[in-house]
Chain A
Amino acid sequence: GAGVSQSPSNKVTEKGKDVELRCDPISGHTALYWYRQSLGQGLEFLIYFQGNSAPDKSGLPSDRFSAERTGGSVSTLTIQRTQQEDSAVYLCASSYLGSGATADTQYFGPGTRLTVL
């Protein structure tokens, strides 16, 4: 079946512009995660969605970052007023996490490479 898909695969933007990154999880997966991968910081967990519940935003790097998940499926990560330090690969993952379930395997998308000039 189809895996996690992300778009765009590459995004080049100018400092100060807003960008939107999209993630389509595996059909039927209830949990969705965003991570950031950069040379200096490695892989960082950003935010997690479970079904339609409100996410815990404490892992987002700054208030310029926001994320939403519509209808418990597709998610969008938005970065406002981009800065050069936002340049990184943004990875999305999904998993099936039923009620009371413990951590399950996360399946990752190919990522979006963001370059801020």
Chain B
Amino acid sequence: AQSVTQLGSHVSVSEGALVLLRCNYSSSVPPYLFWYVQYPNQGLQLLLKYTSAATLVKGINGFEAEFKKSETSFHLTKPSAHMSDAAEYFCAVTPKGGGADGLTFGKGTHLIIQP
């Protein structure tokens, strides 16, 4: 069984400030981890993924995430927030080798950017 916990359903930061969105996972096998972003009335867009290569993963739009096995975490960061980053962010996990399991998503974090 696997699960994902995203701490904070809403996160508000000022434009130019650091963005930190938290994700912790629970998985019985080493997982693959993903961050997706969803803009209003749109589908999900992949930001980045961890597939057991480098533990620090760089994605699109200046985002990155670090896989920490000891903390079972995969937090998403961006050094300087931009107004266009306002969206819903989802962390997701899937076991290695198992497309049939689909993705298990967290509840999502709504990122608000204050001008």
Label chain A's interface by main secondary structure: strand
- Give how many A residues have a beta carbon under 8 Å from the other chain's beta carbons: 27
At the interface, yes or no: A114 with Cβ under 8 Å from chain B? no
Scoring B residues 44 to 87 as 1 if CB is less than 8 Å from chain A, else 0, what string do you get? 11100101000000000000000000000000000000000000
CB distance B94 to A103 under 8 Å?
A: yes
CB distance B102 to A45 under 8 Å?
A: yes
Residue of B nearest to A50 (CB): B99
Residue of A nearest to B93 (CB): A103
Asked, given contacts A91-B44, A103-B94, whether A35 binds B32 with beta carbons under 8 Å apart, the answer is: no
Ordered nearest first, which 9 A-B pairs have the shortest CB separation?
Answer: A45-B102, A43-B105, A108-B43, A108-B44, A110-B43, A103-B94, A97-B99, A102-B97, A42-B107
Interface residues, chain B, with chain A CB atoms under 8 Å away: 32, 34, 36, 41-46, 49, 51, 90, 92, 94-108
